[in-house]
Amino acid sequence: MNKEFTKGLVKDNPIFVQLLGLCPALGVSGLVVNALGMGAGVIFVMLGANIFVSLLKNFIPQKVRIPSYIVIIASFVTIVQMVMEAFAPELYNNLGVFVPLIVVNCAILGRAEAFASRNTLKDSVLDALGMGIGFTLGLTLIALVREILGAGTITLFAMGGFDGVIRIPILHLAPVRIFSLASGALLAIGLLLALFNWKSSAKRG
């Protein structure tokens, strides 16, 4: 596998290693389905932004590069916003103000500035996919921890006779509700980060 793609998955994971894009990560991490929806939005925006920044890197004047990137990113965010509101209104409602806030997701501007503006189109696409999927993985992990502990359920997409909610026996009758609240999100990510640190230091030493 190409290293531009794989680096975003674990080694430079935007959430757990670079600590970027945390606001949306925590804000929508109450339900697994929201995390996946937000992840899809971020992958799309990141991909679009990286493609256009990479293509236009010689056209965009150095002095106004940040505003230019922001315009490109904001356009893709608006596209996501409009399409999601039209065709997935329920998801749009759940994500609320966090959809337009993708625009200030530092992970996206970070990739455009640090990678796409000085690399080829192919590498930029791979980089966006890797980082986007890494972001989604991290977000889903937090959502899994929060939803399983906080509500005793895993909410996915409803299909056919299945209503999309997996209920975990016992836990779902008496969940640890604090994990579904704001403070639970901060606690969950703190504990997960500590786990990551412990794992990686154990590997090294």
Partner 1 sequence: MSYISILITYIFISNFVLTQFLGLCPFIGVSRNTESAVGMGFAVIFVMSIASVVTWLVYTYVLVPLALVYLQTIAFILVIASLVQFVEMVIQKVSPPLYKALGIFLPLITTNCAVMGIALMNITSEHSLIESFVGGIAAGLGFMLALIMMSSIREQLAMKPVPKPFRGVPAAFISGGLMALAFMAFDRALLTNLLG
Partner 2 sequence: MKQLASISLRLALICAVAAAVLALINSVTAPQIEYNREQRLLQALQEVSGDYEIGDAEETDAEKITARYPLSDQEGNLAGYTLRILASGYAGEMVLMAGYRLDGTVITARLLDNEETPGLGKEAEEPSYMEKFEGTGGDQRPVPQRKHELSEAQADGVTGSTITFSGIGEGIHAGSRYVAELGGEDE
Contact residues: partner 1, CB under 8 A? 19-20, 22-24, 26-27, 66-67, 70-71, 74-75, 77-78, 81-82, 97, 100-101, 103-106, 109, 178, 181-191, 193-195, 197-198, 201
Q: How far apart, in whole angstroms, are the C-alpha atoms of residue 116 and residue 124?
A: 5
Q: How far apart, in whole angstroms, are the C-alpha atoms of residue 126 and residue 51?
A: 10
Stretch that binds partner 2, among 9-17, 58-66, 136-144, 163-171 (CB under 8 A): 58-66
Instruction: Write down the least CB distance from residue 100 to partner 1, Å.
Output: 5
Q: What are phi and psi of 66, to 5 degrees?
A: -60, -50
Asked whether 129 and 117 are in contact (CB, 8 A), the reply is no
Stretch that binds partner 2, among 73-81, 101-109, 162-170, 189-197 (CB under 8 A): 73-81
Q: Is 78 in the site for partner 2 (CB under 8 A)?
A: yes
Q: Is 61 in the site for partner 2 (CB under 8 A)?
A: yes
The 3-class secondary structure across 39-62, one letter per residue, is HHHHHHHHHHHHHHHHHCCCCCCH
Burial group, residue 124, by CB count within 10 angstroms (0-12, 13-18, 19+):
buried
- Residue 114 interacting entry, from partner 1, partner 2, none, C-beta within 5 to 8 Å by type: none
Q: Is 164 in the site for partner 2 (CB under 8 A)?
A: no
Q: Which residue has the tokens 């509101």?
A: 85
Asked whether 134 and 10 are in contact (CB, 8 A), the reply is yes
Which CB, 6 or 78, lies closer to partner 1?
A: 78
The correct pick among 2, 96, 186, 198 for binding partner 2 (CB under 8 A) is 96
Stretch that binds partner 2, among 6-14, 54-62, 98-106, 112-120 (CB under 8 A): 54-62
Pure H helices in the chain: 3-6, 22-27, 32-55, 65-87, 89-95, 106-114, 121-151, 182-204
Asked whether 153 and 165 are in contact (CB, 8 A), the reply is yes
Stretch that binds partner 2, among 11-19, 56-64, 101-109, 134-142 (CB under 8 A): 56-64
Asked whether 134 and 50 are in contact (CB, 8 A), the reply is no
Q: How far apart, in whole angstroms, are the C-alpha atoms of residue 148 and residue 130?
A: 26
- Residue 2 interacting entry, from partner 2, partner 1, none, C-beta within 5 to 8 Å by type: none
Instruction: Write down the least CB distance from residue 103 to partner 1, Å.
Output: 5
Residues that bind partner 2 (CB under 8 A): 30-31, 56, 59-61, 63-64, 67-68, 71-72, 74-75, 78-79, 82-83, 85-87, 89, 93, 96, 150-151, 177, 180-181
